[in-house]
Amino acid sequence: MKFYYFHLMPYPLEHGEPSSWVTLSNRHYDPAVGHVLYNQYLDQLEYAETLGWDGLCVNEHHQNCYGTMPSPNVMAAMLVRRTRRARIAILGNGLPLRENPLRVAEEIAMLDVASGGRVISGFVRGIGPEYYSTAVNPTHSRERFYEAAELIIRAWTEAGPFPFDGRFYRYPFVNPWPRPLQRPHPPVWCPSQGSAETVEWAARRRFPYLMVFTPIRRIAQIYGEYREACERSGYTASRYQLTVNLPIVVAESDAKADAIARRNALWVYHVGLRMPLQFWQPPGYTTEASLRRLLTAGLKLPTELSFEDLEAGGYIICGGPATVRDKLRVFADELRAGVVCSGFPAGTHEATLDMMQLFAEEVMPHFREDADVDETAGVGR
């Protein structure tokens, strides 16, 4: 199994406002605190490479305290020059939110060339509140996503210049310099919440599918649908096309891990992802078929989840090293996920570094049967 260190770069504010997105005033953001946080977070990502993680993940979110990386490519650029071996996974750029998605093709190519071909390029639509923050019409979201993805991949793979004339994006000359180093292009991943349309689209193109903060029974269901869609497209999915993103809390004992998780792991759900329903679901963002699926699936909003829900539902992994190994085995052997992306909500910076070390020493070595496998070979393109 491959391990990717996933960072949200949260601004861990406690507040009583109804939303942590869109309307939470940025007067709550103290740049002096932000300076310390950014540098600690980057230190953690760099340390992850030292400890043996295979990849380092950054991601894009706007106008919120949940994740303070409006430009993941900026963070990736910092990591490229401070690391030598690990993959840099940008999970991902919010394509429909861009007015000029050719800029994504350019920036990813820059990072790929500078890093010697270590970049993984996630394509995402951006979540509901980001359509309020950017004013992009959410009813165009899906179509803009597909169109921008097609444009970017063509820009990476076809010799320019060529014209592109889409519904939303039009260019008389597509001809970006530089071109990416990886051939035919950097692997593309699809982080998603499981809409049927995205599953089908990603499977058809061999783009690895990443389930973010989802209960384990739904992960199993969506993985099944993805594998079936791959078969319909005439191939069998590699385990490295199935990726899971979930927080891990590991400590010397189950009891200690439990105490740490109760203190820290709930913030993401109860504060970080707190927002009213209309932000989660801007008009037209979700197709009627997927909306019906959501309405009848009986999923809880993040703020409705108790700690017991998180643990029992498999939203998080928490325990002493032996327990964490057992729980990871479920993902490795039963769900047959090939990549685990995780953050480690330990509390302080020092506690995070300690927890990372414990994980690297006591857990990671037990999942290294595939140490010599290149997880990006033949997938994502």
Partner 1 sequence: MTRAREVTVRGVPVRLLSGGAGPALLFLHSAGGAGRWLPFQEHLARRFAVEFPSHPGHGGSPAAEWIEHISDLAFHYLDLLDLLGLERVHLVGASFGGWIAAEIAVMAAHRLKSLVLIDPVGIKVDGWIYPFLFAMDLPELVSTVFHDVTAALALVPRGEGPDTLLELARERAALARVAWNPYLYDPLLRRRLPRVTTPTLLCWGEHDRVASLACARVWAAELPDARLEIFGGSGHVPHLEEPARVAAVVGDFCAAREGAG
Question: Minimum distance from CB of 193 to partner 1 (Å)?
Answer: 17
Q: Are 91 and 36 in contact (CB under 8 A)?
A: no
Q: Are 7 and 45 in contact (CB under 8 A)?
A: yes
Question: Minimum distance from CB of 204 to partner 1 (Å)?
Answer: 22
Question: Minimum distance from CB of 84 to partner 1 (Å)?
Answer: 44
Q: Environment class of residue 13 by beta-carbon count within 10 Å: exposed (0-12), middle (13-18) or buried (19+)? A: middle
**Residue 67 or 128 with smaller CB distance to partner 1:** 128
**Residue 252 or 304 with smaller CB distance to partner 1:** 304
**Residue 143 or 252 with smaller CB distance to partner 1:** 143
Question: Minimum distance from CB of 195 to partner 1 (Å)?
Answer: 14
**Residue 172 or 298 with smaller CB distance to partner 1:** 298
Residues that bind partner 1 (CB under 8 A): 22-23, 132, 135-139, 276-279, 281-284, 288, 291-292, 295-296
**Residue 26 or 236 with smaller CB distance to partner 1:** 26
Question: Minimum distance from CB of 276 to partner 1 (Å)?
Answer: 6
CA distance 98 to 73: 13
Closest to 241 in 3D by CA, of 255, 253, 252, 230? 230
166 backbone φψ class: left, alpha, beta (φ>0; ψ -120 to 50): beta
Task: Please give the full DSSP string across 256-291, using - where no structure is assigned.
Answer: HHHHHHHHHTHHIIIIIT---HHHHS-TTSS-HHHH
**Residue 51 or 291 with smaller CB distance to partner 1:** 291
Question: Minimum distance from CB of 294 to partner 1 (Å)?
Answer: 10
Token couple for 106: 């350019």
Rg from Cα positions in the chain = 20
Task: Please give the full DSSP string across 315-359, using - where no structure is assigned.
Answer: SSEEESHHHHHHHHHIIIIIS--SEEEE----SSHHHHHHHHHHH
Closest to 122 in 3D by CA, of 101, 99, 149? 149
Question: Minimum distance from CB of 143 to partner 1 (Å)?
Answer: 10
**Residue 18 or 116 with smaller CB distance to partner 1:** 18
